[in-house]
Amino acid sequence: MFRGPGPRGLNELKWGSFDGHLLALATRQGANVRRARVEEVRWDHGRPIVRARGCAAVAYDLLVVASGVNSVTQSVLQALPIAYRPPQTTKTLIREYYLGEDTVNRVLGTSMHVFMLDLPRLEFAAIIPKGDYASVCLLGEEIDGALIRAFFESPQVKACFPPAVSLEQAACQCQPRINIAGALQPFGDRIVFIGDSGVTRLYKDGIGAAYRTAKAAATTVVFEGIGARDFQRRYLPACQAINRDNRMGKLIFCFTQQIQHRSIARSAVLRMTRREQQRGGSAQRMSMVLWDMFTGSAPYSEILGRMLHPAFWLRLASDVILSALGRPQPEDGGVGTAGGIRTASESITGRGELGRVYQPGDILIRQGEMSDEMFVIQEGQVALVQEQGGQEVFLGVRGAGEFLGVSAIFEKQEQTATVRALTLVRLLTVDKENFMKRVHQDPAMAYRLFQHMSRRVRELNQQVKALNQELDRVSEGRRGDKDAAEPDSGGNSKSK
Ligand SMILES: Cc1cc2nc3c(=O)[nH]c(=O)nc-3n(C[C@H](O)[C@H](O)[C@H](O)COP(=O)(O)OP(=O)(O)OC[C@H]3O[C@@H](n4cnc5c(N)ncnc54)[C@H](O)[C@@H]3O)c2cc1C
């Protein structure tokens, strides 16, 4: 989705903006929003004084700076009596192409297309479908005109656009900056820097990092205080943890750069991923590494740990040999495309697993099977049927974003219904261990699940109520029939 309402020149507003959504949430929680540019910050009697354009200066108890790295605000803050030094940044590229929703669906589908191209300084390149638009994102070291041209001229990128589209004529383009190294001492007495203006994750998950630093700052303020020492004790470790993880991220990006420079290695990565996607199952080592690298859904330390597993290297080595021998790639199982890596769209669990694809009519889950996993429908529709007394009873249809078999996560149990694909379906399997890990990282996931369970309980209650009413009607009908069949006191039958 778009941060703001959408690209420049947008004709039709189809969705609200992401930032607008967050601001509305904050306002509902009691935040007092003032839409004005902060032009001056100074200290008076130990308290921060803030003056915004067109407003009187106001003294605050605590100043939380969340100014990002794409404004001149840093200069407003330079005169402050603190040791803060802004983060190091680099230039990126975002380009939006208007293709229309039908074309976007046809050429890109619902997948994010990630490229491993041998272009120096390019760390990450992706084309992301967003409604009517295809959004191109390039991250790396000082993305400049030459690198942008080389990217758009590569055949793998051209293959992702209809031939009629001129890649020179984007609907809009900008070159915002992102952090590549965190700020120095992002706090002081009565001041704390969160999000990009403090510390963020390397190349990925900036919004997640902004949330985490904001939370760490809020926890410090509530449980420790608002002095520099309080932030040092409680806020700094949270920033240091992100910085430490970024160092591992840099190692991983060095490794992927090496792969990108070597065609045999690139081909081996593609081969390994394709095979995993065809086979499904839990040991999707390369798929998970790529997914988490490109989406930022796991810490870099965890990804590095997985990359150091001997089984990962054994598999990769054998695929390098096969690629060197020129053996043909396995059939496209839905991840490889034109030399790039096409990963599945982000799952609703946010964990980033690549779901398994089923054809219409396939059985996804069988009634009676024991299971300790839950399932998330990522794409498509399924029918739920239950065998009752030798007959198949249709229970309903479920679609993308819905959970199945949730209670199995808490207790191993028998599947109560058979689930059959009605369309092409992508299904994600989440076991207890992954679920717990995910809830630990993202407590909102547990909330979403409880929401789902509470909706199911409400639906079941309604079904029970409807069933009781039906039973009452049937028994009343029977009583009526019985009364009608009985002769009245005068010896006449009530029925005519
Ligand atoms: C090309 C690109 C792609 C990205 N893709 C992703 C992605 O897919 N997922 C992800 O998680 N992250 C992504 N990020 C990173 C993410 O956007 C940032 O990490 C995140 O937005 C940081 O949030 P923030 O609140 O710290 O700063 P920002 O989002 O930059 O917000 C700062 C706000 O402060 C306002 N401001 C600045 N100065 C003043 C002032 N003086 N007075 C008043 N207001 C002011 C600005 O107008 C702005 O609204 C991407 C970044 C870039 C550049």
- The residue type of 481 is D
Q: Which residue has the higher pLDDT, 134 or 372?
A: 134
Q: Are residues 103 and 169 in the same domain?
A: yes
Q: Whose CA is nearest to atom 46 of ligand 1?
A: 67
Q: Whose CA is nearest to atom 17 of ligand 1?
A: 206
CA of 443 to the centre of ligand 1 (A): 23
142 in any annotated domain: yes
pLDDT above 90 covers a percentage of the chain that reads 40
Q: Are residues 1 and 136 in the same domain?
A: no
> CA of 493: how far to CAs of 475, 478, 479, 480, in Å?
21, 16, 15, 13
Which whole number is the average pLDDT over 180-200? 95
468 in any annotated domain: no
Backbone φ and ψ for 470, nearest 5 degrees, come out as: -65, -45
Q: Whose CA is nearest to atom 21 of ligand 1?
A: 207
pTM of the model: 0.70
Residue 453 has pLDDT above 60, yes or no: yes
59 in any annotated domain: yes
Residue 101 has pLDDT above 70, yes or no: yes
Which whole number is the average pLDDT over 424-438? 79
- Between CA 162 and CA 158 the distance in angstroms is 8
Q: Are residues 82 and 188 in the same domain?
A: yes
CA of 196 to the centre of ligand 1 (A): 7
Looking at residue 493, what is its pLDDT? 39
Q: Which atom of ligand 1 approaches the CA of 69 most closely? A: 30
Q: Whose CA is nearest to atom 37 of ligand 1?
A: 67
348 in any annotated domain: no
493 contact partners, CB below 8 Å, separation of at least 6: 484, 485, 486, 487
- The residue type of 11 is N
Q: Which atom of ligand 1 approaches the CA of 138 most closely? A: 1
Q: Are residues 186 and 82 in the same domain?
A: yes
CB 375 within 8 A of CB 399: no
Q: Whose CA is nearest to atom 50 of ligand 1?
A: 206
Q: Determine the residue of 63, 204, 207 to mutate for testing ligand 1's pocket, defined as the one with the most ligand atoms within 8 A of the Cβ atom.
A: 207
484 in any annotated domain: no
Q: Are residues 339 and 365 in the same domain?
A: no
- Between CA 42 and CA 59 the distance in angstroms is 9
DSSP-derived letter for residue 449 is H
| CATH number of the CATH domain containing 402 | 2.60.120.10
pLDDT band at 184 (very low <50, low <70, confident <90, very high): very high
Q: Whose CA is nearest to atom 45 of ligand 1?
A: 67
Residue 442 has pLDDT above 70, yes or no: no
Q: Are residues 17 and 42 in the same domain?
A: no
Looking at residue 340, what is its pLDDT? 37
256 in any annotated domain: no
Residue 347 has pLDDT above 60, yes or no: no
Which whole number is the average pLDDT over 441-445? 67
CB 52 within 8 A of CB 36: yes
286-324: per-residue pLDDT in tens? 988 988 888 888 899 999 999 999 999 999 999 999 888
- Between CA 115 and CA 17 the distance in angstroms is 27
The CB-side HSE value for 344 (13 A sphere, CA atoms) comes to 25
Q: Give the rounded distance of the alpha carbon of 36 from its chain centre.
A: 31
Q: Are residues 80 and 186 in the same domain?
A: yes
CB 424 within 8 A of CB 359: yes
3-state SS class at 46: coil
Q: Which atom of ligand 1 approaches the CA of 194 most closely? A: 26
Q: Which atom of ligand 1 approaches the CA of 177 most closely? A: 53
Tell me the residue length of the chain: 496
Q: Which residues' Cβ are closer than 6 Å to ligand 1?
A: 37-38, 66-68, 70-71, 73, 92, 94, 137, 176, 178, 195-197, 200, 205-208, 210
Lowest mean pLDDT among 40-44, 98-102, 257-261, 455-459: 455-459
Looking at residue 152, what is its pLDDT? 93
463 in any annotated domain: no
- Overall domain count for the chain: 5
Which whole number is the average pLDDT over 208-213? 94
Q: Are residues 41 and 70 in the same domain?
A: yes
CA of 68 to the centre of ligand 1 (A): 5
444 in any annotated domain: no
Q: Determine the residue of 178, 193, 213 to mutate for testing ligand 1's pocket, defined as the one with the most ligand atoms within 8 A of the Cβ atom.
A: 178
Give the residue numbers spanning the domain of 291: 262-343
Q: What is the mean pLDDT of the chain?
A: 84
Q: Determine the residue of 37, 67, 70 to mutate for testing ligand 1's pocket, defined as the one with the most ligand atoms within 8 A of the Cβ atom.
A: 67
- The residue type of 203 is Y
CB 483 within 8 A of CB 494: yes
Looking at residue 218, what is its pLDDT? 96
DSSP-derived letter for residue 341 is E
Which whole number is the average pLDDT over 432-438? 75
